A = this chain, B = another copy of it.
Amino acid sequence: MMEDTTVYVPTLEDMLAARERIASYVHRTPVLTSRMLDELTGAELFFKCENLQKAGAFKARGATNAVFGLSDEQARKGVATHSSGNHGTCLSYAAGQRGIPCTVVMPRTAPQAKKDAVLGYGGRVVECEPSTSSREAVFAEVVAQSGAEFVHPYNDHRVIAGQGTCSAELIEQIDDLDAVIAPIGGGGMVSGTCLTLSNLAPHVKIYAAEPEQADDAYRSFKAGHIIADDAPETVADGLKVPLKELTWHFVQAHVADILTASEREIVDAMKLIWKRLKIVMEPSSAVPLATILKNPELFAGKRVGVIVTGGNVDLDKLPWN
């Protein structure tokens, strides 16, 4: 495996190695179905519940793979990332499992609940100002002082190989899928899905679902090169980040289409899933169902895996209240 984590493209073997490496530390998450949602969409939907994953998100997979793939020498110096979302929490979880230090750089303005989530798993939070320049400066200092290994939220071959274990499980749990759909932000889950399915089930179509108000991946896909949005605003706050080289590599090669949904459609789909599947999940995780409801002709009569990416939502600020 090459040392430069930004250009090495992970392979099926990396995904299989990840699966073995992380097996004791992550859940094989259940797949739920709903007769009512099937009737509503005309499709057979299989919801892969990564909201029930350790630390509440699929990102536990990639983070755990990165952490447990480190040499003992590197591990002693710990890991670090900048993320105020699920990746920070999940990296803290994974580091805790290995018993190594984890530092997450976060804007001081990030919600206390996000900081508490990192702290709850034993990680350290270092605050920066809410600007890219401050974040980069503070992060560089953290790495310089500790020698910690940087684990990027998605543009990292170890992370993508880890996320690929989700669809590897899904195709074992559910036979004869015609399609899989996942939300797309930075593209880590979609890239992992592409990695796994293009090798193990190449007939399965891969769709990505994105908020209209943060449709940089959609526009990148149509344009044929990466386009980054400038500070998009969407209720699906896990999906604001742009594609990077590695995830773009997978998206442009293997994704059948990127579908978008409005804020209202996302919230309606989220409520429908809570009501019908009885699960707590994030707005980001509702974008796939929102796009399925909007594009029935693409999915009717098909067996569709739907990745429910995470469940870390503020119960005091539900978007329909």
* A residues with CB within 8 A of B: 30, 32, 36, 51-52, 56, 120, 271, 274-275, 277-281, 311, 315-316, 318, 320-321
Structural contact, A315 and B275, CB atoms closer than 8 A: yes
**Cross-chain pairs A/B with CB under 8 angstroms, 26 sampled:** A30-B30, A32-B52, A36-B120, A51-B278, A52-B277, A52-B278, A56-B278, A271-B315, A274-B280, A274-B315, A275-B280, A275-B315, A277-B280, A278-B279, A278-B280, A278-B281, A278-B311, A279-B279, A279-B280, A280-B280, A315-B318, A315-B320, A316-B320, A316-B321, A318-B318, A321-B321
**Which residues from B are CB-within-8-Å of A120?**
36
Task: Count identical subunits in the complex.
Answer: 2
**Which residues from B are CB-within-8-Å of A316?**
320-321
A52 to B279, CA, bound (A): 8
A271 to B279, CA, bound (A): 13
A1 to B234, CA, bound (A): 60
A135 to B75, CA, bound (A): 68
A29 to B280, CA, bound (A): 17
**Which residues from B are CB-within-8-Å of A36?**
120
User: Closest CB-CB distance, A33 to chain B, in whole Å?
Assistant: 9
User: Closest CB-CB distance, A321 to chain B, in whole Å?
Assistant: 6
A52 to B275, CA, bound (A): 11
A271 to B320, CA, bound (A): 17
User: Closest CB-CB distance, A165 to chain B, in whole Å?
Assistant: 19
Smallest CB gap from A282: residue in B: B278
A36 to B119, CA, bound (A): 13
Smallest CB gap from A36: residue in B: B120
User: Closest CB-CB distance, A81 to chain B, in whole Å?
Assistant: 22
Inter-chain pairs besides A51-B278, A316-B320, 8 sampled, C-beta below 8 Å:
A56-B278, A271-B315, A274-B315, A275-B280, A275-B315, A278-B280, A279-B279, A315-B318
**Which residues from B are CB-within-8-Å of A56?**
278
**Which residues from B are CB-within-8-Å of A271?**
315
A275 to B36, CA, bound (A): 25
User: Closest CB-CB distance, A51 to chain B, in whole Å?
Assistant: 5
A321 to B317, CA, bound (A): 9
Pick the 7 closest A-B CB pairs, nearest first: A278-B311, A278-B280, A51-B278, A30-B30, A274-B280, A52-B278, A274-B315
User: Closest CB-CB distance, A173 to chain B, in whole Å?
Assistant: 12
Question: Which of A32, A279, A316 neighbours the largest number of chain B CB atoms within 10 Å of its CB?
Answer: A279
User: Closest CB-CB distance, A27 to chain B, in whole Å?
Assistant: 9
**Which residues from B are CB-within-8-Å of A51?**
278
**Which residues from B are CB-within-8-Å of A278?**
51-52, 56, 279-281, 311
